A and B are shown apart, each in its own frame.
Chain A
Amino acid sequence: MRVLLALVLVLGLTAAAEPKTTLPDVEDEVMCVECRTGLNVSTAPVADQERAFIREKIAQGLTKQQVKDALVEAYGPDVLATPEAKGFDLSAWIIPGALVAAFAAGVALLARRWRRAPAATPAPDAPELDPADARRLDADLAAFDR
Chain B
Amino acid sequence: MRPRLYWPITFAAAALVALLTYGVASVGPDTSLDEALRDGKRVEAPVKDLPRLGGDGTASLADHKGKVVVLNVWASWCGPCEAEMPLLQRTHERIARKGGMVLGIDAQEPAERGLKFVHEKGITFPNVRDNDRDYIRKFGVSAYPETFLIDRTGKIAALTRGPITQEWLDRELAPLLEEKA
Binding site for B on A (CB under 8 A): 33-34, 44-46, 49, 53, 73-79, 88, 91, 95, 102
A-B contact pairs, 7 of them (CB 8 A): A34-B78, A45-B79, A49-B76, A49-B77, A49-B113, A73-B131, A78-B108
Flag if B108 contacts A33 (CB, 8 Å): yes
Q: Is the pair B77, A45 in contact by a Cβ cutoff of 8 Å?
A: yes
Instruction: Please tell me if the beta carbons of A75 and B19 are within 8 angstroms of each other in the complex.
Output: no
Known contacts A33-B108, A88-B23, A91-B23; A76 and B77 CB within 8 A of each other:
no
B144 to chain A, nearest CB (A): 8
**Bitwise interface map of B from 59 to 85 toward A, beta carbon under 8 Å scored 1, else 0:** 000000000000000011111000000
Interface readout for B140-175 with A: 1 if CB under 8 Å, 0 if not? 000000000000000000000000000000000000
* Choice from A77, A88, A102 contacting B26 with Cβ under 8 Å: A88
> Residue on B with the closest CB to A109?
B5
- Tell me how many residues of B have a C-beta within 8 Å of chain A: 19
Chain A residue with minimal CB distance to B75?
A46
A62 to chain B, nearest CB (A): 14
Residues of B within 8 A of A (CB): 12, 16, 19, 22-23, 26, 75-79, 108-111, 113, 131-133
B12 to chain A: which residues have CB within 8 Å? 102
The tally of CB-CB contacts under 8 A between chains A and B is: 42
Which B-chain residue is minimally distant from A70 (CB atoms)?
Answer: B110
Residues of A within 8 A of B16 (CB): 95
Q: Is the CB–CB distance between A76 and B19 below 8 Å?
A: no
Please determine whether A88 and B109 come into contact, CB atoms closer than 8 angstroms.
no
Give bound CA distance, A7 to B110, whole Å.
41
Nearest residue (CB) in B for A75 is B108
Tell me the interface secondary structure of chain A in the complex: helix
Query: What 5 new A-B contacts, CB under 8 Å, besides A44-B77, A53-B110, A76-B132?
Result: A46-B78, A76-B108, A88-B23, A95-B16, A95-B19
List the A side residues contacting B76 at CB < 8 Å.
49
Residue of B nearest to A44 (CB): B77
Residue of A nearest to B19 (CB): A91
Contacts of B19 in A (CB 8 A): 91, 95
B107 nearest in chain A by CB position: A76
In the complex, the answer to whether A49 meets B23 with C-beta atoms within 8 Å is no
